[in-house]
Amino acid sequence: MTETAESAPTVAVVGGGAVGVTAASDLAARGADVTLYERGELAAESSGRAAGVLYDAYAEDVDAAVGARSIERFRAFDRSLPGFSFSPCPYVIAVREGDPEADAVPAMVERMRDHAREVSLVDPDELGERFPSLRTDDLAVAAVAEGAGWTDPPSYVRALGERAAREGVAIETETAVALGPRTDSGREIRIRDAGDDGNSETETRAFDAVVVAVGAHTRSLLADAGVAVPVVPYRVQALVARDDYDGPMTYDATADAYLRPHPDGLLAGDGTEPVPADPDDYRREADDWFREDIAAVLDERLARGDSLDRADRTNRTDPDSDVSRAWAGLCTATPDGDPLVGPVESAADDPTLFVAAGWQGHGFMRSPAIGETLAEGVLASLSGIAFDAPDSPWIGAFDPTRFDGDEVFEIAEGMSLSNRTEET
């Protein structure tokens, strides 16, 4: 690294989403000289299109720890961060009759409880009594996680961005960058800027470390530095409906759809397309099939105060009625479903290039913990602590160098119950 005893380490964070602004703020709070680059505005991409569902109901050790730390920080930010609010709300996992994965739910809940998560199995009838806004007569099993909540994702990014600026982070929006080579002075980045005459000008700057947190653009940006990573973007969808809903956040595992309260009614989504998407050219509006599917799920899952049977509910569904907004965003997948977080230069004793990507739809809800890990990990690496050292803050399961980078794999939807019930 290039710092002296009198100087702070210089770090560039590329990406102005939830993970990027959290990492930048946490790095600055720990004494680093940080510049954040975002090619558009803060929260302009995936974080601005996230659902804002927050929970710590994970069965796997690492996921449970990351989820718990994120919820802890979200709650702390609710008390201390102007412009941000966390709304506590139970999170229900509902599995319908006839779903073969229902039998795995008790063991999944037990593993969650082993991690001190406040999760319990609930009889469907008792669930309906507790939450009258939900229909539960078709459920085989349900679980409730009490330590959950929801928020507005763009407000988090903006509030953390303002905190980062107060911590001394230089935030440069509308600024596209490319990665340059590793040099004796650190890692170079090239900043592209349009001059007054419309011609592109390039400025080169060197940093002790560069953190790449650009979501769906990860693969192409790291390719500039000759680094290959198996991070594949895929499209997901959500909408806001004007239903009068005051119930819990609910994941209908059989339908692969979720819903939560929203100031305008309720937010519902999934709409996963398990095929690679072009981050520069994808459809940002919701599809008709998604609207129809979600309308059917809402008719089946919500207790709307009438006596229509299920067939009548489905037949009356109007996918465009009472929808105030519908959109698509991008998530990123990896071959094993775990993210890539850490240095991408495995052979270097003093890495300069770091990545955080591959969230399987859980990036926003993990951002407080991952941003903190990035800050502590980058500074540890710059001080000479190896990734796998006993005192390293990096998470071994998220090691970016565990792959060759050219893997071909099927995209798996991150919220799927099958991913939660597999033994690890």
Confidence of residue 413 (pLDDT cuts 50, 70, 90): confident
Q: Are 374 and 394 in contact (CB under 8 A)?
A: no
CB atoms within 10 A of CB 98: 9
CB atoms within 10 A of CB 279: 19
Q: At residue 375, does pLDDT exceed 50?
A: yes
The pLDDT tens digits for 243-283 are: 899 999 999 999 999 999 999 999 999 889 999 999 999 99
Of the listed ranges 15-29, 56-70, 183-197, 228-242, the least confidently predicted one is 183-197
Q: Rounded to the nearest 10 degrees, what angle do helices 153-166 and 18-29 cross at?
A: 20
Instruction: Match domain 1-231+244-258+335-424 to its CATH number in 1.10.10.10, 3.50.50.60, 3.40.640.10, 2.60.40.10.
Output: 3.50.50.60
pTM of the full predicted structure? Answer: 0.92
Closest C-alpha to 368, from 102, 61, 94, 159: 159
Task: Spell out the domain ranges in the chain.
Answer: 1-231+244-258+335-424
> If you count them, how many residues does the chain have?
424
Closest C-alpha to 398, from 347, 358, 348: 358
The pLDDT tens digits for 61-115 are: 999 999 999 999 999 999 999 999 999 999 999 999 999 999 999 999 999 999 9
The pLDDT tens digits for 300-358 are: 999 976 434 444 444 444 545 589 999 999 999 999 999 999 999 865 678 999 999 99
Q: Give residue 57's identity as a one-letter amino acid code.
A: A
pLDDT of residue 345: 83
C-alpha distances (whole Å) from 20 to each of 161, 189, 192, 237, 395 are 9, 16, 20, 23, 18
